Structure 1
Amino acid sequence: MSETHDKAHAGRMPALFLAHGSPFLLDDRAWVAELRAWAQAMPRPKAILMLSAHWVDAPATVGATETVPLVYDFYNFPEKYYRVTYPAPGAPALARRVRELLGRVGPVAEDPRRGLDHGAYVPLVCMYPDADIPVLQISLPTLSPAPLLEVGRALAPLRDEGVLLIGSGFLTHNLRAADWRGDAVAQPWATEFDAWCAEVLGRRDVDALLDYRRRAPGVKMALPTHEHFVPVVAALGASIDVSEAAAFPITGLTYGSFTKRSVQFG
């Protein structure tokens, strides 16, 4: 991609991968402030498209296009977390565009009653607390990296239409290895996996990322399951056809085994 072409698309929205945390994130003032500052540093989006680790459903499924109740997809938490609201406007026009774009790579379904899950609304409460930007969530149709790269690639035109594409998950996600103390020491496998991710994403090494299950150090401990990692592949897919750097607006490890590393393409 030429420099001239990049300048012609100066209004392009970034594509993001963010670590969303549990509902407890909303009580972490430092993390909330980091997410808020990140949002303020970006252009204001016309709409937001979320792909969260907490909705894996084939084929790709479009969620509610009007404001519906949130999905409180967690259990035995204090009552206050079930009272959090995020009444963002629906995004029916974006839903039509998503169906058009994704329809070129595979079937698209609809679930009009499916509200935002905590992988979507928790970070948005931090980033855009006024809930005044239309939000649409779609499912991850697979956990296989290569098809998800193509999903992101298919959605990439939305970036030039003012839409902020967000993949939400955790680059490491091992609940059994979590240490919930605030001063927990990071596990070596978590720091090694995080460093590998930083290197691979920093150089936009698509081949390595698609082969992460074989190449990444500590992957079996970092990811007993893979739904939290693969949204980053979709985010990279939305950036794959343009020449732009990867940045890490938020880094660090929390709870001993979770990396907060978040990625901005563009």
Structure 2
Amino acid sequence: MKVGLFVSHGSPTILIEENKWKDLLKSIGNEIMEKYRPETVIIASPHFISWTGIHYIEVSERLECIQDYYGFPDEAYKYCYDAINDVELANEIVKESDGRIKEDDKWGLDHGAWIPLFYMFPKDKPKVVTISITENSPNSHYEIGKIIMKATEKLGRRAIFIATGSPTHRLDLFYFKITPKPTKFDTILIDLIKNEKFMEILNVKELYPKEYKEAMPEGDLNTLHMLLGYVNPKKAQVLGYEVPWPGVSMLSASFYG
């Protein structure tokens, strides 16, 4: 079965706050390990982005933790997570991409990737492959997801895909401490997932332009679009949702192909 997860990583303050989201991530991770025992986790974070139109995939043997956040309490910098790369899979993805994905060895695991991994797989760490998003279209990211799946199947890898990001990512509201509340866009996206309208998710920016603009989804939801291409889902389930901070929503959903 093809499996993908969309999980919000949230503010780095999640590391030092009491927050039920950490318990949800731990629960999801435990279930994934029990049901699927993945050898490899392929993860796409909105903080790993290429502005050249080319996707980059890391090929270093070890993916080092990057604390790419600034101005937070000192305690938030005591946490980190690194992982062993599945270099064979990364290289196979590059081969299958016909030049759309290139090798890179200058990145690692930014907080959009390592924070969820820190809570989901704290001990029995699977190997990890990380790939960048770009400013290309949702359909382009969908096609990249298909390429990743083709390479995964070719090698017979037992893998899952994790896409991270926040459906609402209004940092202006965060800094001005506006009262946390759901946005219309969050409601729309959740309904589309629950009703398994996957092609509408792919085209959500055009279908709901006003609500999309008001929410400013993190990374233009391109990590989710890549996930949809990887899984080609037939089923989906919302696992959790909350708005713990002003302007930043947290959503988790599973997708099955």
TM-score > 0.5, shorter chain as reference: yes
1:265 aligned onto 2:230: no
Deviation at 1:117, TM superposition (A): 0.5
Which one of the candidate residues 109, 113, 138 is aligned to 2:106?
Answer: 113
Question: Following the alignment from structure 1 to structure 2, what is the Cα–Cα distance between the partners of residues 65 and 126?
Answer: 23
Task: Please tell me the root mean square deviation across aligned C-alpha atoms, in Å.
Answer: 2.4
The answer as to whether partners of 1:49 and 1:137 remain within 8 angstroms in 2 is yes
Deviation at 1:87, TM superposition (A): 2.9
1:126 aligned onto 2:119: yes
**Distance change >3 Å, CA 87–CA 209, structure 1 → 2:** closer
> What are the superposed Cα offsets for residues 5-37 of structure 1, whole Å, 9 maximum, x if unpaired?
xxxxxxx24111111112212234411110010
1:200 aligned onto 2:196: no
Question: Following the alignment from structure 1 to structure 2, what is the Cα–Cα distance between the partners of residues 140 and 68?
Answer: 17
> What are the superposed Cα offsets for residues 57-79 of structure 1, whole Å, 9 maximum, x if unpaired?
13111114322532221111223
The answer as to whether partners of 2:56 and 2:102 remain within 8 angstroms in 1 is yes
1:52 aligned onto 2:45: yes
Unaligned runs of 5+ residues in structure 1 are 1-11
Alignment of 1:13-162 (within 5 A): 13-27=2-16, 28-42=18-32, 43-57=36-50, 58-103=53-98, 106-130=99-123, 132-157=125-150, 158=152, 161-162=157-158
Quick check: 29-38 or 78-87, which moved more?
78-87
Unaligned runs of 5+ residues in structure 2 are none
Corresponding residue of 2:163:
167
Deviation at 1:171, TM superposition (A): 1.2
Corresponding residue of 2:223:
231
Question: Following the alignment from structure 2 to structure 1, what is the Cα–Cα distance between the partners of residues 136 and 67?
Answer: 22
The answer as to whether partners of 1:168 and 1:228 remain within 8 angstroms in 2 is no
SS in 2 for 1:186: coil
Question: Following the alignment from structure 2 to structure 1, what is the Cα–Cα distance between the partners of residues 49 and 205?
Answer: 19
TM-score by length of 1: 0.83
SS in 2 for 1:122: helix
> What are the superposed Cα offsets for residues 179-229 of structure 1, whole Å, 9 maximum, x if unpaired?
787x94415xx1x21111012223333442233223225221200x65152
> What are the superposed Cα offsets for residues 234-259 of structure 1, whole Å, 9 maximum, x if unpaired?
1112222x5x3111112222214332
Question: Following the alignment from structure 2 to structure 1, what is the Cα–Cα distance between the partners of residues 158 and 63?
Answer: 23
Give the total of aligned pairs.
246
SS in 2 for 1:61: strand
Quick check: 47-56 or 133-142, which moved more?
133-142
SS in 1 for 2:84: coil
SS in 2 for 1:75: coil
Deviation at 1:156, TM superposition (A): 2.4
**Distance change >3 Å, CA 180–CA 69, structure 1 → 2:** farther
Question: Following the alignment from structure 1 to structure 2, what is the Cα–Cα distance between the partners of residues 206 and 139?
Answer: 22
**Distance change >3 Å, CA 257–CA 90, structure 1 → 2:** same
Question: Following the alignment from structure 1 to structure 2, what is the Cα–Cα distance between the partners of residues 250 and 204?
Answer: 16
The answer as to whether partners of 1:172 and 1:229 remain within 8 angstroms in 2 is no
| Runs of 4+ off more than 3 Å | none
